[in-house]
Structure 1
Amino acid sequence: MLQGACAFVGAAVLNFCQAAGRMMLLFIDTLSKIKEVNIKEMLRQMALLGADSLPIVLLTMLCTGMVFSVQTAKEFVELGASGTVGGIVAIAMGRELVPVLTGVVVAGRIGAAIAAELGTMKVTEQIDALRVMATSPVQYLVAPRFLAMALMMPVLIVFGNFIGNAGGFFVAHYYADIGSMTYLNSIKQFCEPFDLFGGMIKGVVFGAIISIVGCFKGLNAKQGAEGVGLATTASVVLSIILIFIFDYFLTVLLYVGE
């Protein structure tokens, strides 16, 4: 029984290392193909992957900012710290909530779409057809999506921060009776430009993760509709897990000890 358990764990570790290595090779290959990317295709992917995600991102961030403000505003007013509410909401949104939640939302919407699209191309042998025509699937399919996600995620985060802080301001002003100038001055006093800029850096990394994982799972989808479904699910789950893991290390790197 012990031998069987060790064999199972060993096989799982080997499969994990193999998948991680292949994903890293795809990432390196993608970086090498960036200079040859089709600009028109990249712009099309930016519209599909970025602009079309804006409504759901804005709705998510609006609700998040309002909920965070309603959870903190009344308590801070009772403690006599109403002058810190705006800064706390803005810092929390800029550093953590907006980048992470935007990454999760985009992973669910875009990561799944990328994996499903490329997975369908894989099982219908369109990927093999590209190779037969001497066209690199990485250059034609992966690189435009990688660049589009890396460029559009910071843009989504900027809009998300704006609408999230607007929601927080609305709740703090009309629910907790915090003056508008008190709220805005709190943001000016406690927030720094790097609070937003650091979140945008996180967005670039999260966008790269979502695109690489989605493309990797799609390009390695097994045959049949079931294989495409499994690749889509695995893409979303793995992307979200990696977003949380990388968020910790990026937070330590960007903010701890500043």
Structure 2
Amino acid sequence: MEFVSQLGSSTLDGLSYLGSLASLGARAAYYTLVAPFQGKPLRLQRAVSQAMDTGVRALPILSLITFFIGLILALQAAYELRRFGAISAVATAVAVSMSRELGPLITAIVVIGRSGSAFAAEIGTMKVSEEIDALETMAISPIRFLVAPKFLAMMV
């Protein structure tokens, strides 16, 4: 009976977390996509700044990771294609696979990992230093003030 109780508790905790995550996403989408058309201004300057942090400043590390993955892919392809006498097709194979398949995937993984951890650290620091409570005290929605610009920046 203890197992069933623990399983039910874990399931309810997971569903509660999923519900709060969906609620956060819905409110961020509302403040980003709907509220600006209802007279509630979006902090566009902050969204542009977040987009710069998310995209442009991630380019050096993204380029480095992509270069090394392309290098590994070229070495593996050369090893396999040498057996068939098609070593001249390595450059074409690497270029096509990196631009069509791996490039967008690597970009998404690096941007999500880098920017997601930066966003979590920033909001976590604000929570610890009670800045989010201060926003609520001033009747400013933390979702609208903090999350919506980040949400818009990640969409761009």
**TM-score, normalised relative to structure 2:** 0.82
List structure 1 segments (4+ residues) > 3 angstroms apart after TM superposition.
80-88
- In structure 1, the residue matched to 2:102 is 97
- In structure 2, the residue matched to 1:31 is 29
Partners of 1:28 and 1:128 lie apart in 2 by 21
Partners of 1:86 and 1:24 lie apart in 2 by 44
**Tell me, what secondary structure is at the counterpart of 1:135?**
coil
- In structure 1, the residue matched to 2:119 is 114
Unaligned runs of 5+ in 1: 152-258
- In structure 2, the residue matched to 1:182 is none
2:155 pairs with 150, 159, 177, which one? 150
Give 1:66 shift.
0.9
Match status 1:63 vs 2:63: no
Q: How does 1:44-83 map to 2 (within 5 A)?
A: 44-82=49-87
- Deviations along 1:135-160, one digit per CA (max 9) or x if unpaired, are 11111111111111221xxxxxxxxx
Residues paired across the two proteins, number = 149
Relative distance call for 1:9 and 1:89 in structure 2 (3 A) is farther
Relative distance call for 1:18 and 1:91 in structure 2 (3 A) is farther
Percent of aligned pairs sharing the same letter: 38
**Cα contact 2:54–2:115 (8 A) shared by 1:** yes
**Cα contact 2:50–2:150 (8 A) shared by 1:** yes
Aligned residues: CA RMSD: 2.0
| Higher RCO structure (Cα 8 Å, ≥6 apart) | 2
Partners of 1:38 and 1:80 lie apart in 2 by 58
Rg larger in structure: 2
Partners of 2:81 and 2:91 lie apart in 1 by 11
- In structure 2, the residue matched to 1:227 is none
Amino acid at match of 1:27: G
- Deviations along 1:158-177, one digit per CA (max 9) or x if unpaired, are xxxxxxxxxxxxxxxxxxxx
**Tell me, what secondary structure is at the counterpart of 1:37?**
coil
2:133 pairs with 124, 128, 131, which one? 128
- In structure 2, the residue matched to 1:13 is 11
Partners of 1:5 and 1:87 lie apart in 2 by 56
Relative distance call for 1:56 and 1:125 in structure 2 (3 A) is same
Partners of 1:83 and 1:94 lie apart in 2 by 18
**TM-score, normalised relative to structure 1:** 0.52
